[in-house]
Amino acid sequence: MKALVTKMRFWLTAVLCCSFAITNAQITKTNTHKPETELHPEIFWDIKAYSPDAELLQVVAIAQDGKIYDVKAIQYAEDSSLLDVKVLSNGERLPVKLILNKKEDLFPLNGIDKAGNLISIKALTEDGKRLDVRGVRRIGNTIAIRAIGPNGSQYSLLAMAPDGMVNTIKGLKMASQNLEMVINGIEVFAHVKAMCDIEPN
């Protein structure tokens, strides 16, 4: 009788251990295929020039060979308060900066390619005119950016999300001196971001 009880205890223990091992293996297998975090999909915001009379102009990049490329603000995460602005050129994302201009107080807005060539950023009117886009006024560490019309009128630059949200395109200074950085031989005055506009300038 004692031998029978011992034998039953042995088989019961074996069954319990086997069940635990199977359950643990199933949990481990499930967790192996479950991502720890889900990446936020990239969202591309259109860049527009906005006039006081509510006219919206397309903003594009024009290379030295005349080719036209998109300019977009890119949202990488759920937070959209500060977005990068890039030229989308042949599968590449080129930086957009305010360029240091030692001759005047206006700072041209340009893309910069890997060879150090400047890519013009222009606002296009309905009749085909190409308006220069420049940093026009500094307030603290931000710079107002405007498209300049032929009669001196100014168009604010906006980033517009697919869902209708709007940020303002501004220059952003991090360094105290005029020279912010050098990219591919080009002297940069300020970074360019699409910012949540708490205090418009």
Tens digit of each residue's pLDDT (9 = 90 or more) over 36-94: 566 789 999 999 999 877 889 999 999 999 999 999 999 999 999 999 999 999 999 99
**How does residue 146 score in pLDDT terms, banded at 50, 70 and 90?**
very high
Indicate whether 87 belongs to any domain: yes
Answer yes or no: is 184 within a domain.
yes
What b/e string do you get for 25-46 counting C-beta neighbours within 10 Å, with b at 16 or more? eeeeeeeeeeeeeeeeeebbbb
C-alpha to C-alpha distances, 100 to 16, 103, 124, 130, 183, nearest whole angstrom: 74, 9, 24, 22, 12
Span 118-141, average pLDDT: 94
Give the percent of the chain with pLDDT over 90. 69
- 33 part of a folded domain: no
Q: By mean pLDDT, which of 22-31, 137-146, 172-181 is the weakest?
A: 22-31
User: In terms of residue numbers, what domain contains 164?
Assistant: 43-195
Confidence class of residue 199 from pLDDT cuts 50, 70 and 90? Answer: low
Centroid of chain to Cα 8: 67
Residue 194's nearest CA partner among 142, 121, 116 is: 142
* Residue 93 domain flag: yes
Mean pLDDT of the chain: 84
Q: Could you tell me if residue 19 is inside a domain?
A: no
- Residue 90: exposed, middle, or buried by beta-carbon count in 10 A (0-12, 13-18, 19+)? exposed
Q: pLDDT category, 198, cuts 50, 70, 90?
A: low
